[in-house]
Amino acid sequence: MKILISTDIEGVAGVFHAEQIRAGNGEYERARAWMTAEANAAVQGAIAGGAEEILVNDSHGGFRNLLPDGLDERARLVLGKPRYLGMMGGLEEGCDAVFMIGYHSRSQGRGVLAHTINSFAFARVFINGMELGEAGLYGALAGEMGVPVILATGDDVFIAETTDLFPGAQWVQTKVAHGQGSGVTLSPAASRRAITAAAETAVRNLKKAIPFRIPAPIECRLQTQTSALADLFCMWPTLERVDGVTLRFTTDSMQAAIRTLNSLAAMSFMLR
Element (H, E) at 46: helix 26-49
Burial zone of 239 (CB within 10 Å; 0-12 exposed, 13-18 middle, 19+ buried): middle
* Nearer residue to Zn ion within complex by CB, 60 or 221: 60
Q: Tell me: does residue 32 bind Zn ion (CB under 5 A).
A: no
Which positions ≥6 away from 93 have C-beta within 8 Å? 2, 55
Cα–Cα distance, 4 to 13 (Å, whole number):
21
CA 115 to each of CA 60, 127, 191, 217: distance values in angstroms, whole numbers, following the listed order: 12, 16, 22, 25
CB of 134 to Zn ion, least distance (A): 8
Q: Which of 135, 62, 66 is nearest to 104 (CA)?
A: 135
* Nearer residue to Zn ion within complex by CB, 63 or 233: 63
CB of 113 to Zn ion, least distance (A): 8
CB of 109 to Zn ion, least distance (A): 15
* Nearer residue to Zn ion within complex by CB, 158 or 249: 158
Residues in the chain: 272
* Nearer residue to Zn ion within complex by CB, 60 or 106: 60
* Nearer residue to Zn ion within complex by CB, 8 or 156: 8
CB of 9 to Zn ion, least distance (A): 5
Q: Tell me: does residue 8 bind Zn ion (CB under 5 A).
A: yes
CB of 65 to Zn ion, least distance (A): 8
**Among all residues, whose Cβ is closest to Zn ion?**
60
- Contact set for Zn ion, span 179-208 (CB under 5 A): none
- Contact set for Zn ion, span 54-83 (CB under 5 A): 60
CA 117 to each of CA 103, 186, 222, 264: distance values in angstroms, whole numbers, following the listed order: 11, 25, 12, 10
The CA angle 250-212-38, to the nearest 5 degrees, is 115
CB of 60 to Zn ion, least distance (A): 4
Q: Which stretch binds Zn ion (CB under 5 A): 3-11, 150-158, 169-177, 240-248?
A: 3-11
Q: Tell me: does residue 259 bind Zn ion (CB under 5 A).
A: no
Number of residues that bind Zn ion (CB under 5 A): 2
Three-class secondary structure of residue 241 per DSSP: strand
Q: What DSSP string describes 248-262?
A: EEEES-HHHHHHHHH
What residues line the site for Zn ion (CB under 5 A)?
Answer: 8, 60
